[in-house]
Structures are given as structure tokens and as C-alpha cells.
Structure 1
Amino acid sequence: MTVTTEQPVDLLRRQDAQMADVLAGEARRQASTLQLIAAENFTSPAVLCALGSVLANKYAEGYPGARHHGGCDYADQAERIAVERARALFGAEHANVQPHSGSAAVLAAYAALLRPGDTVLAMGLPYGGHLTHGSPAHLSGRLFDFVGYGVDPATGLVDYEQVQALAREHRPRAIVCGSISYPRHLEYSVFREIADEVGAFLIVDAAHPIGLVAGGAAPSPVPYADVVCATTHKVLRGPRGGLILCGAEFAERIDRAVFPLTQGGAQMHTIAAKAVAFGEAAGPAFTTYAHRVVANARVLAQALAEHGFAVTTGGTDTHLITADPAPLGTDGPAARARLAAAGIVLDTCALPFGDRRGVRLGTAAVTTQGMGEAEMVRIAALFTAALRGDPAKTRTRAGELARGFPPYGP
């Protein structure tokens, strides 16, 4: 195969028309439907450029200056830039940018701090805990003894008295603070106090709020946690991947846990794309963006409540909204299906206190497209139209709205 300067899309069309059709179809789908999955966003063209760069060709096991392969001069530069930008962005003493995903980052944190059989206190899965927080279907649930804390049944907020009581009873080796469907800010200082009282490590899984932290729209867990695990997509608007932040005290343990303990070679093209995203997130435009994400989420949550949805915790502090569509005569899975038919893409989530599922959505992607509070009100109306009327007719309206805000321009 020879190297060519032909444009990538043209090259793919000529060499693999079938896959080119798939990518073109996905681009049309993203541009013509409303993307409300809380864990998704649109990267910048610059991030996509780095992600599809020649660094995809480079094998770079190890760390800068200590690789197991030759020819890593530029790979080392890319990783050092990513690390320094992450440290500066989040005010952390150490950053590891190699985890392939948020789950990989959490597993590496466990590997660095725990031994098999250790007790870990984390949010229970029925209340919004992640698979890596002790699901029996996940390796974490097989290796460690997880105890789950929950939320107050009246408010839906984390029950910190219960967290403290469980910590005193079970004396966990680590406490995990984080959730995939909790729409409010977590009290990191309270978790820190509880962890200190029982001699536990504090691991913050900040996969969802880390982008808001970068933009100053959410409190930072870095001053309180022993280790912060995160993703670089979602609100942060980078490539799909993981990130670990910690103090100098844990730097060597974290690095060894990522490589060679739990991962092999670093994905250098992804690391380069992470560096680009960190650089973008350090600018004033991203700060404005992050605050708009939250403002849009609050307006959308209020509008959904006015249309009859039971919004958990009564609203949101973040980009994320969870709601029960039962007052509209349906459940989460059925609502997701009808909304999908209407061109509105979102997820379901567990609802506390009962074997029920609601809907989980976020405003990161639509805010990236340039939508504002007026569009959030329109989206809430589309929800009701899809669930109570004809999804096909609603799809036309949703498509018109989406196409008015193209993610990558006309």
C-alpha cells in the first residue's frame, strides 16, 4: 500500500464504498435527529483531525522516555503535552492520559489502591451506580466486596448520613463517589470527611461532571479525592477515552496500574486528540459553553416537569436530567422507543425504589450545536408530542430543529 495525499473521505469512498456509506449514514443521522444521550457530544474538527492522524500507526507501550518501542519521539511529545494540559486544566499534581475508557480508568484506580476481597463503598446500581461500582456482571463485582449506598426517598438526594453509617459499619478500604444518573452536585468535602474517619481511600468517578469542572460550571473533586477517574468525551468534548488525576503521592502507583498491569500499548492518536480537547477546554469559549450546558439542562428539566414528567430531585445542577414518564402513561423503555421513532435519541436509567426505569438525557451535544433555552422549551414540547401523539409527525419537527443547528456546519 502506498501513502497518498488524497482526502480521507474520498480515499475511503474509492477503496471501501460500503464503509463510506455507513459513515455517511451516521453523519446524516447525527445531523437530522436530536442527540440527547447524556454521555455523548460532538468533538471539534481539530479533535477529529488528531484522532484520525498518523499517530494511529505508532506503537508506544510505556511512558514518555521509557517506551518499549523505538521511534517514539513525537509520541512522547504528544503525551507530555496531553499530561501537562490536563494537570493545568484541573489543577492536579499528576495526570495519566492513557486509559482507553472511563471504565479502564476506574479499574486502574482499584488496581492501584486495593487488593482482591477488599470492601468498597459505592453508590448502589439501583440509585445510579455504574457497572464498575460493583455490578456482579462486571469484574469489579467479582474482585471486591461492594456495599451500596443510596438516596433519600423523599428528595432523591444522596443520603450522607447513610453513607457515614455504612462506612462506620463496614470500614471499607475505599469509598467511590460518583454516578451515571445523579443530576446534582456531590458534596466531595463530606465524602472526604467520611473517608478520613474510617481510613478509606476516596475515589471520585467524575466521568459525567468532569467537563463541567473544566469549564468552571461544577465543583472540582481534585482537592478532595485521592484519585479522580474521568472520561474525555461527554461534556469535555474530546475523543472517547479515560483520564486519571491524582496527587504526587499516588502517581507511581497509578501509572503502574495503567501500564503494565491493566493495559497494553497507549492509543497515541487518541492521546493527541485528548491533548487538543484539553487545550480547547482551557479557553474562555469553553467556560461559556459549560455554563450554557447547565442553563439549558435546567430549562429543559423545568419544561419537562411542566409537560407532566416526574423529574428526579426536582431538577438538575449539571448537564444531566433523569425523569419518570409514568405520569404520561408510559415507562422508560417504551418512551425511549417512541422518542427514537420521533428522531429524539436518549437513554433509559434505573429509578430508585422500585423495579422501574425512567429516561436519562443530557444537553451537552445540543448545546455544542448552538441551541439555547428557547430550543430546550421546543424539545420538551416534542417529547410530549411524541409520547401522546404520532411519532412520525413529531420526527419531521425534530428533524427541522436539528438541521437548523448542524454540528459541523452546512
Structure 2
Amino acid sequence: MVTENWVCARFPLDLASPVSQTDLPAFLLLQNVGLNTTLLEEDKEIYDLIQKEKWRQYSCLELIASENFTSQAVMEANGSALTNKYSEGLPGARYYGGNEWVDEVENLCRKRALEAFRLNPEKWGVNVQPYSGSTANFSALTALLSPHDRLMGLDLPSGGHLTHGYATAKKKVSSSAIYFESFPYQVDMQTGVLDYDKLEQSAALYRPKLIICGASAYAREWDYARLRKIADAHGAYLMADIAHISGLVAAQEAADPFAHCDIVTTTTHKTLRGPRAGLIFFQRAPKGEKNSDLEEKVNFAVFPSNQGGPHNNTIAGIAVALKQAASPEFRQYAKQVKLNASALAEALKSKGYKIVTDGTDNHLVLWDLRPNKLTGSKMEKICDYLNITVNKNAVHGDSSALVPGGCRLGAPALTSRGFKEKDFVQVAEFLHRAAQLALSIQANTGKMIKDFIVALEASDEVKSLRKEVETFARSFPMPGFDPASVPEDCRIH
């Protein structure tokens, strides 16, 4: 076996004298240009930053509802040699040669996607190439609509997503609002629950060509049958964006959108626990029947309309995650996610906090901090200092998305680390103490967040609580990598 030591002994280099590149064996040429060196050897700055991020994840209470910790197997596939290959087009119809194994990877991913959601391949197809949930959504809109066609999606302050047609009174924010005409529907301003009656009335006036159901901050179940009825009354398509709940849908822990929708989109990294990407599922039908052209339209919208070559390494990672999602262990995980989210909501309610919709049916909790005279921005900031990650989030009735009245909390990531209900009760206790600290600091600093941050940095109470949080977080295992492998000088304290 030829090794580096053998080559160096056989071909010793006199570094004091210039050596022609043609005099070097290929092995050493690769070494010299950094093609066969480790990340640590080639770029210690990036290596150290990655190690610090690994330690942050391990030491942190990760409560962002759209994040999760994927498996080592998914990471291996995502970091594989598949990243080298261009493969524009679909399996069997590529614009480049050398795709025989890439075709098998993508076909396997498509097969597993249908199996994970129990879909009949004669009635459903899937495109696994979108780079993200946002690109998946825009490709779906491109397939279904012409410029200036009308769509209706859940308003951002009501828990919807930017890609569902979000616009303010002054600006069209999302491309879905720029290229199409958007009329949002909302939740009931008192209960925070979807107002289906008002949605139906608005649709009767607006007559959309597409209704989008799905959200990024809505804790309750969806009535897909009711939405199908509303869409059919106006000959509209019904599209579900299940980016947040797709893992729950796969595990049959959430209602099934496929029974009622024409198209279903999702990300792959939230409750589905895969790499960061998107999927578009579309109905199949015999020629001449409704939706018989969706497959062609969706595939063309993805490529060449909106994307170039797919990321084959990511598709391989999705395939691994979908295999895992079909397992009994994943179904138990999804059940635990819901139990944990509910435990977190109830624990916060027991401390007197307001939870939007008074609870949750899924993986997330929307915490309304307005009754406590605290903004979501300040709560997010103090949690950052405490090694708890949450995200500020608009709450129905907010006048500005820049100064949101709440925080979104999620259970998927910590559930992947083995947290159970009692552990989320402790998480709620940390959040309660954080909120009380924030109120105390705010009482001395006023409304300006820059003054609030200065006080945070100087607070001994904040530093003390952070140590408690880190000790608690590090008592749980970490999926995907071994925290003991992180070098001591990258362990941020």
C-alpha cells in the first residue's frame, strides 16, 4: 500500500531548492494544493469555528421550532463526494453524463418520500430537488399560477410564512406577493385560532386561484376538508405547506393534508430531521382529468425555471432521513415531541404566562409576552446570553413585525437529545427566570434595547443563570457528533 510516509521517503524534498511541479508524484501534488488534507490542516480558522458551533449546540437549550439535530448518517451523506456532481434534469434525462449513480440516489429518495407519507405512486409524485422550503414554495406557485393570479395564504402576524404572499401596507415583501396578487386570511383576534368562516367569506369575494394552508407559528391543527370545500367553491387549487409539521404527518401524529390537497410542500430539516432542503409532492391523474398536468408543471418549475443543478449530496441526506422517518423509533420520537411541547405550554401557563390559543396540538408553542410588558426582541436577546435559543415572533394583533410581541418555542431539537416532559418543565423554569430577569433589567434601563444589552452584559445574575443552563444542557447526549471530540480551546464558557 502506498502511503504518505512511503512517498516522502521515496521522493524526499529539498525545500531549500525550487522543484518543478512535474518532478513531484501526484500524491504530493494533491497534498501541496490542499486537495487531500483535512480541514484542520488546511483551514484551522474554519475548523475552530465549526468546533465552537458544535460546542454551542451541545451547551445550549435549542428551542427554535424550525431547527433540529440531524443524525450522523445524514451528515455523512450530506458531506459526501456526491457534492462534486452536476445533474441538471431528472433521472434518466440529464443534461450531463456520468449520472448513473446519482440517478439511483434520486430515484431512491423519491421512492422513500412517497413511502414515508404512505402515498400511492400512481396517485402522487414528488420532486426532491428544491434547495429549500422557500424555493419549493415559489416553484409550486410558478407551476400553478400565472403572473398576477390571485392567492390567499395565512397572514404573517397570524402565524403564516413569508412565502405565502406576505406584504405590508407599504411594501410587497415576498416574491409571492411581488409576482402574484395576495389577499391574506387571519386568525381570530381574540382566540388566535383560524377563522374559517371569515376565510370562506373572503374567498367568496376575492375568488383566488390558489389557497395556501400551512404556517410557521400556528400551534393548532388544520381543517383540510373545510379548506378543500372552500377552494372547490371557486375552482381554486389547494396547497399545503407542511414545512413545520411534516415529521408529525409522516408519523401520523398530525392530520393528513394529502387526502385533500393538490400539492404539498415541505422542508426536510424541521420535524422531519433531515438536511436543509425542500420537497414538492403533486397529485397524479390520467390524461384529461384534473391535475393530470401537475407533474410536468412542477418539474419544469423547479428546473429550468427556478433552479440549476440539484444538490445531490443533500438529496442523499434526505433519502437517509426519510428512511429513518419510516421507522417505529421515529414515530415514537414524534409522539414525544408533541408531549414535550404540551408540557412546556402547560408549565408556562402555570406560571401565569399567556400562550396563544391556550396550548398546542403540535411541536411548537407561541408565547405572548405583551401582557408582561416585554417584547419578543428583548426575550430573545436575554435568552441568547443565557445559552437558550428562541426566536422573537409576531403575535396576532401586533402592529409591527420588527417589534414582535412574543416568542416562538419548539420541542423538536431537545426531544432529539432525549428530553422528556419533566425536562421541559425545567426548561420552562429557566424561561420564567429569564423573563423575570429581563423585566428587572428593563425597569432600570427603559425601552431602548441597546441599553438593555449593556445591562445584560454586566449582570452577575445573568452569568450565574447561564452556568446553570449550560450544566443542564450538557447532561444530555448530542446527536450527530461526539462533544468530547471538540478541542478544549473551542469549548466556549
> What is the TM-score when the length of structure 2 is the normalising length?
0.80
Partner of 1:315: 359
1:358 aligns with 2:406: yes
Gaps of 5+ in 1: none
Question: After superposition, where does 1:242-281 map in structure 2 within 5 Å?
Answer: 242-248=278-284, 249=292, 250-281=294-325
1:196 aligns with 2:232: yes
1:130 aligns with 2:157: no
The residue matched to 2:259 in structure 1 has which SS?
A: coil
Structure 1 residue 9: deviation in Å? 12
Gaps of 5+ in 2: 1-25, 167-171, 285-291, 438-460, 484-493
The residue matched to 2:333 in structure 1 has which SS?
A: helix
Q: How many residues align?
A: 407
Letter in 2 for 1:294: K
Question: After superposition, where does 1:393-404 map in structure 2 within 5 Å?
Answer: 393-404=464-475
1:355-384 Cα offsets, whole Å, 9 max, x none, are: 242000100000000010111000000011
Letter in 2 for 1:394: L
Larger Rg: 2
Contact 1:33 1:343 in 2 (8 A): yes
1:33 aligns with 2:77: no
Partner of 1:121: 152
Which of residues 271, 288, 313 is equivalent to 2:332?
288
Structure 1 residue 175: deviation in Å? 0.4
Q: 1: distance between equivalents of 2:277 and 2:359?
A: 29
Partner of 2:125: 94
Contact 1:230 1:244 in 2 (8 A): yes
Q: 2: distance between equivalents of 1:402 and 1:298?
A: 20
Q: 1: distance between equivalents of 2:433 and 2:370?
A: 15
1:230 aligns with 2:266: yes
Structure 1 residue 406: deviation in Å? 2.7
Q: 1: distance between equivalents of 2:191 and 2:177?
A: 28
Q: 2: distance between equivalents of 1:108 and 1:201?
A: 15
Structure 1 residue 150: deviation in Å? 0.5
Contact 1:309 1:326 in 2 (8 A): no
Contact 2:68 2:413 in 1 (8 A): yes
Q: 2: distance between equivalents of 1:341 and 1:326?
A: 21
Letter in 2 for 1:246: F
Structure 1 residue 223: deviation in Å? 1.3
1:208-254 Cα offsets, whole Å, 9 max, x none, are: 11111111111111111100010000010000000011111321211
Contact 1:50 1:273 in 2 (8 A): yes
Q: 2: distance between equivalents of 1:113 and 1:91?
A: 24
Larger displacement relative to structure 2 (65-74 or 304-313)? 304-313
Contact 1:324 1:331 in 2 (8 A): no
Contact 1:105 1:229 in 2 (8 A): yes
The residue matched to 2:153 in structure 1 has which SS?
A: strand
Q: 2: distance between equivalents of 1:315 and 1:95?
A: 33
The residue matched to 2:138 in structure 1 has which SS?
A: helix
Q: 2: distance between equivalents of 1:388 and 1:209?
A: 31
Letter in 2 for 1:158: L
Contact 1:343 1:395 in 2 (8 A): yes
Contact 1:308 1:327 in 2 (8 A): no
RMSD of aligned alpha carbons: 1.6
Larger displacement relative to structure 2 (328-337 or 363-372)? 328-337
Structure 1 residue 125: deviation in Å? 1.7
Contact 2:383 2:434 in 1 (8 A): yes
Partner of 1:60: 87
Letter in 1 for 2:141: Y
Partner of 1:212: 248
Letter in 1 for 2:164: H
1:320-373 Cα offsets, whole Å, 9 max, x none, are: 110112344411101111111111101011111132420001000000000101
Structure 1 residue 160: deviation in Å? 0.3
Structure 1 residue 391: deviation in Å? 2.4
Contact 2:374 2:405 in 1 (8 A): no
Question: After superposition, where does 1:138-217 map in structure 2 within 5 Å?
Answer: 138-217=174-253
Contact 1:185 1:318 in 2 (8 A): yes
Letter in 1 for 2:478: P
1:159-183 Cα offsets, whole Å, 9 max, x none, are: 0001100111011000010111001
> What is the TM-score when the length of structure 1 is the normalising length?
0.96
Q: 2: distance between equivalents of 1:333 and 1:31?
A: 24
Which of residues 49, 56, 67 is equivalent to 1:22?
49
The residue matched to 1:321 in structure 2 has which SS?
A: strand
Q: 1: distance between equivalents of 2:173 and 2:36?
A: 39
The residue matched to 2:176 in structure 1 has which SS?
A: helix
1:71 aligns with 2:98: yes
Larger displacement relative to structure 2 (110-119 or 323-332)? 323-332
